[in-house]
Structure 1
């Protein structure tokens, strides 16, 4: 079994999955003590500032810029172990673009429909991807992620317009790429402290929380170090100019255990 101390070796073993299938599973990314501390921080962040995404009926409670507001969650987003692993998977220098707490309550959530994260990205980047870190056990019935292997390699446009997602959130991927509907699907339950890493074009889904306990996770978004700002039509929330490189003070380079930069 993969352990904390072999995280770097695990990256070497899973890098092919990440690049060829578009996702990979890394168990035991956090220690039990870290899980407990970061879970408490996540709960505090949700209590202090959160919003419920009900636009498409998903009933996900999510923070906004939690990694910038809460010191412990910033520590998690900039964790050297996670950053080193992310750069090994990507094969390029990275920076952290975001870090948010996600919660699905039992009995009141709905499925998160099939989507890819690149549709929503405010970036021009060679690579955008997420680390989805479980802060509690997330078996299949609690809403773990399901992926379509290789879907990040599909042809056609790099991404669809955000308006198309809003008009048909559950089917926009299948409308543009109907072959995806028949793709093999891989569901990855996670124990607390485990994580999945998935690329921005990888199609994925999560079922409703049909368990009796809360689903709680932390999402770290990585992008290549040379990414530039790309506002979407009708969505330009940052004080940056189109094409502007991301400022280091707000979106720092991923730290490494042996970082000498």
Structure 2
């Protein structure tokens, strides 16, 4: 990964010179506004289609939501094997439609309070919601979801890295091809993100697409990351075609959750509907991991998620509780 020639006005001024080995100089939303510019997009759609809407059910009560998120999910051994082989897995019915509806309504209120209504075409985000919102805390600290993370990673225990709300607004373009090991400043690839859609996600809405296999990184390891343009995204896509890397891209049903490893290359299509494509994304890592010696700007606002932890230090701040244990 080297310094790129060119400019990108979404990069904070302090990050416009030099290479990647520097701290991100903006906030989390600045990071997302920059990151989506790195994806190659066709012309913006001239007409958006109607989205699927929220689940047509009565929302769960807060007590019902907390109870469901505390109960274990019956994980089949074949799903653990699939995750180990493919670096991602999709699990059906992890959340009930009433719980999804309640979370979707709460997330809409949080996003509007932060970003307002003038967000067409953007990728808006929130992080660390669990620190100030009871329902988001129930998700981030959920024994059900954290337990799945520990089981899939086959680790005795996992810690929370951070929670995230991801809203691909109507007309927003693609998310670039990437793998999260370059985003998390951790000396381990034993990390996983639970992607939790807040509605059904049809193809036109931009569901996650996953490159199959834990060794896919080896196919593109020689490509240089481009911090100002779309060359990296384009080169990864071309390499996958040339080397016949299989990609899974299909809709999500209400209640489905995907888990993708830090090694999993993934992308997401544009949102060509009138409905925001919203998801919660919670990341976990193996207990005992340390921070890398030289975090990069690709890691964004990592110090917010690991306060007081310096490069090389144990990733176990007060904001990184153990939230999942692997049941024997």
| C-alpha spacing 1:177/1:222, structure 2 compared with 1 (3 Å) | farther
State the secondary structure of the residue aligned to 2:282. strand
1:166 matched residue in structure 2: 227
| C-alpha spacing 1:237/1:145, structure 2 compared with 1 (3 Å) | closer
Aligned residue runs from structure 1 range 153-192, under 5 A = 153-155=216-218, 164-169=225-230, 171=232, 174=235, 178-179=239-240, 182-192=244-254
2:110 matched residue in structure 1: 45
Deviation track 1:68-106 (CA, whole Å, cap 9, x = no partner) reads 232211210111111111111110021111111111122
State the secondary structure of the residue aligned to 1:254. strand
| C-alpha spacing 1:126/1:213, structure 2 compared with 1 (3 Å) | closer
Alpha carbons 2:168, 2:271 under 8 Å: kept: yes
Deviation track 1:156-194 (CA, whole Å, cap 9, x = no partner) reads 898988xx2414445258469935653111113112221
From the CA coordinates, give the structure whose radius of gyration is larger.
2
State the secondary structure of the residue aligned to 1:123. coil
| C-alpha spacing 1:77/1:237, structure 2 compared with 1 (3 Å) | closer
| C-alpha spacing 1:205/1:170, structure 2 compared with 1 (3 Å) | farther
Alpha carbons 2:72, 2:147 under 8 Å: kept: no
Alpha carbons 2:220, 2:239 under 8 Å: kept: no
2:74 matched residue in structure 1: 8
TM-score, length basis structure 1:
0.82
Deviation track 1:46-89 (CA, whole Å, cap 9, x = no partner) reads 123359xx9xxx83111132232322112101111111111111
Is 28-37 or 172-181 further displaced after alignment? 172-181
Q: In 1, Cα distance between the equivalents of 2:223 and 2:186? A: 14
The structural deviation recorded for 1:242 is: 1.0
Correspondence 1:213 to 2:275 = yes
Q: In 2, Cα distance between the equivalents of 1:249 and 1:6? A: 25
Alpha carbons 2:163, 2:281 under 8 Å: kept: yes
Corresponding residue to 2:99 among 18, 34, 39? 34
| C-alpha spacing 1:100/1:160, structure 2 compared with 1 (3 Å) | farther
2:310 matched residue in structure 1: 241
The structural deviation recorded for 1:119 is: 1.5
* Higher strand proportion (structure 1 or 2): 1
Deviation track 1:182-211 (CA, whole Å, cap 9, x = no partner) reads 311111311222111111121111110112
| C-alpha spacing 1:78/1:34, structure 2 compared with 1 (3 Å) | same
| C-alpha spacing 1:157/1:141, structure 2 compared with 1 (3 Å) | closer
1:98 matched residue in structure 2: 162
Q: In 2, Cα distance between the equivalents of 1:188 and 1:202? A: 16
Q: Where does structure 1 lack aligned partners over 5 or more consecutive residues?
A: none
1:140 matched residue in structure 2: 203
